[in-house]
Structure 1
């Protein structure tokens, strides 16, 4: 497996109250690894994304779910690394997936440029209208009920499942929880927040768990439109984030029937849609 963190010599500088430099030291630090991954379908390039190496097959599978190309494990025949050699060694930065014969050509589902950055999962789309892919799963009818106390515990549980973040401080995290038992199903890290979600969804594809009914997706940062879109495509009824959602994310969550919780910090939260799933009587005035 490629390294998820890299070492680099850095200079740490501290400034005093008077504006002068009080400490200057050279030391070794850890940085989150970032490398390109080219995803090919049947030998043809489909997209290149920047990501943290690791769980690449899950990343590709989750990405294809989000694009509406596949709906489950039976839609894929194989996935293998190929080409991409440097100095005679495989870079493991090119992944070729074979779609099953019954899967429609992907260009009929999504039109992309050939490159996306690690910070944006939808900036390669031809238009914002193309992002509103229709999910194959009915998320709105999911009967999941969630105790707010259960949500309060999730940010720390996600943080505890991010070992590379502890070393680098530079990775986003996404974790999937069983909404009824609270069990942690899968947690992934990546330099791109949309990649972390794709890896979690790809885990579900790998274990034949789509749609992800009755689950909660916990995000380490903000809830952007593309992350709500990915949740909808995977059948996830609840998305929680430690930061704020965008207006478009809240709008899509409302349309899709997703419970969207933001500013999940300490013991408080804000529900932007689907508050009916958050159950519990008010015990204090």
Structure 2
């Protein structure tokens, strides 16, 4: 493996994140006569391999794939830190892209054991219960009790929306952003999948060395429990969503010491957990 996830490489496969085509518009119930140019977001199978073993395949927008692979590895607990990823290569295959990661021996052994445990219980009578335990895995509580002003959170959400360039031309992608405690947006990542966008953001934070810096995460979607889990695994204690959280997301956020906000629209928001950390 020749490429490091900590540095960009000119040899990285470059794929368009959107596709242009001709369409017909319908206005007021009538089909317009002339075709127009339009853009649709790309959705590509992305396979992740760890030390030569295939682990997961997802449909994602084929941009920022090194961020995506690193972020997924961190939020899923496959690796503990950036240094556990020794190399990364991208390979075109069939109709998708394979991301080959070389991880430390300790992390690889842990992943193999995890895969064996999952395979061993698929035929048992209690496999559904045990699978739920795997999905709802405990996540470490975010250290500290960072406080932010509600004005900074609202400002950050507006700042992220202004940087959703792929959404602006396709209308089909979610975004995840990171802002400092003053509401200044530093990073935004987009993808057709909301989980993928957040994984890309986590990877970008780690590669930029910002994962230990106090700040907040923003998502242009609802806040499911997986989104809260990923924020907590990244050590970010404030998560703000455009839409609503689920009951499970609120429960996980409370336990993980994540201040969770939803329905961020214009100057409005709803605070669901740890309201003492959201200041006027």
- TM-score normalised by the shorter chain: which range applies? 0.7 to 0.9
Residues 217, 250 of structure 1: alpha-carbon distance in 2 compared, 3 angstrom cutoff = same
The answer on 1:3 being equivalent to 2:16 is: yes
Counterpart in the other structure of 1:200: 201
1:27 & 1:233 partners in 2: Cα distance? Answer: 44
More deviation, 244-253/154-163: 154-163
Residues 213, 275 of structure 1: alpha-carbon distance in 2 compared, 3 angstrom cutoff = farther
2:274 & 2:190 partners in 1: Cα distance? Answer: 27
Question: In the TM superposition, what whole-angstrom CA distance separates every residue of 1:211-244 from its partner, at most 9, and x where no partner exists?
Answer: x452200011111111111111111100001110
2:82 & 2:209 partners in 1: Cα distance? Answer: 6
Q: 1:160 Cα shift?
A: 1.4
The answer on 1:133 being equivalent to 2:137 is: yes
Counterpart in the other structure of 1:176: 178
Counterpart in the other structure of 2:222: 222
Verify the 8 A CA contact 1:67 1:133 in the aligned structure 2.
no
The unaligned stretches of length 5 or more in structure 1 are 114-125, 281-285
Map of 1:45-60 to 2, 5 A cutoff?
45-60=54-69
Counterpart in the other structure of 1:146: 148
1:274 & 1:171 partners in 2: Cα distance? Answer: 29
Q: 1:133 Cα shift?
A: 3.0
Verify the 8 A CA contact 1:240 1:264 in the aligned structure 2.
yes
Counterpart in the other structure of 1:106: 111
1:50 & 1:176 partners in 2: Cα distance? Answer: 23
Aligned residue pairs total: 256
Alignment RMSD: 2.2
Alignment partner of 1:72 out of 81, 86, 90:
81
Provide the secondary structure at the position in 1 that maps to 2:106. coil
Question: In the TM superposition, what whole-angstrom CA distance separates every residue of 1:170-224 from its partner, at most 9, and x where no partner exists?
Answer: 1100001112x433231100000000000010112223444x4522000111111
